[in-house]
Amino acid sequence: MTNDYKDKNTCFFNKECKNREMATLKNVLVMFIFVIVLSSISLASVTNGGYLYPQFYDRTCPKAQEIVRSIVAKAHAQDPRMAASLLRLHFHDCFVKGCDASILLDNSGTIISEKRSNPNKNSVRGFEVVDEIKYALERECPETVSCADILALAARDSTVLTGGPSWEVPLGRRDSLGASLSGHTIGDARCTSFRQRLYNQSGNGLPDATLSEGYAAELRTRCPRSGGDQTLFFLDPLTPLAFDNLYFKSLLTGHGLLSSDELLVTQSAATRALVAKFVASNEAFFEQFAKSVVKMGNISPLTGPTRGEIRTNCRKINGEHY
């Protein structure tokens, strides 16, 4: 098994090391949550102009979704953390520059890969699963299904495999002809991501006042002033292995790990109201999650015959040789 499947990070509970691959999914889902809450407000006007629709491949590649689903299921059975990795890939690809599979491109004579950026290094993975899906699709229906659509479908299927909601995925994206090294900057919840909250949030030598004192004390035992930089922490301390709404309950009790978590309940009445809504109803959270991932997938898609291309190899643009 290659490095694409290896996990080099440090466990912070020895007894939980064997479970952390599943817990990683929850960590990735929580990254979506900030987008989910804000998407109800800031992405409300995002549309795809009618160019994307779930039946896009019904005639040209009717088995496309079945092929993606089966390979994702196999990968998840072999490596439970892979569900999180595929969901993360879709998020990293879409959120800044649009859903165009640019994150999948390797370095070449004309491409500086987004995989080289510091936030993505040792963070994004799952590329070999995408390769396997693309290979199967090219055999079934050559030059038809885009790599960007593969990521969108794999994100949905990964969520379902781990107990989350399902949704219809609008399809018809095309793949970019280049990469944007600075375009994807979502990081991980390592000690370095929140150390300032524990020791010197406002430059006064005091911890963040919005953080529960007990929770802060617990975090300090595993995230000292120096050392342990790469130690991973569950973003949801209540049910890190489950896809549910308890993350939001932890926010209301001062147990949000990152500053961005706490902003959901402290920055505006609108976001706090949505947090309260999700606390009251897991079903509401599931519904909003599905809607928001669809909205995110609609950000600046390349559509139509003259924009982008359908790559035959997701790692390089067509006609380019390594």
Q: Which residues are catalytic?
A: 92
Determine if residue 239 is labeled as part of a ligand binding site.
yes
Length of the chain: 322
Determine if residue 184 is labeled as part of a ligand binding site.
yes
DSSP state of 204: S
Determine if residue 96 is labeled as part of a ligand binding site.
yes
Determine if residue 236 is labeled as part of a ligand binding site.
yes
Determine if residue 261 is labeled as part of a ligand binding site.
no
Determine if residue 110 is labeled as part of a ligand binding site.
no
Determine if residue 93 is labeled as part of a ligand binding site.
yes
Binding-site residues sit at 93, 96, 98, 100, 102, 114, 184-185, 236, 239, 244
Binding-site residues for heme b sit at 184
Binding-site residues for Ca(2+) sit at 93, 96, 98, 100, 102, 114, 185, 236, 239, 244
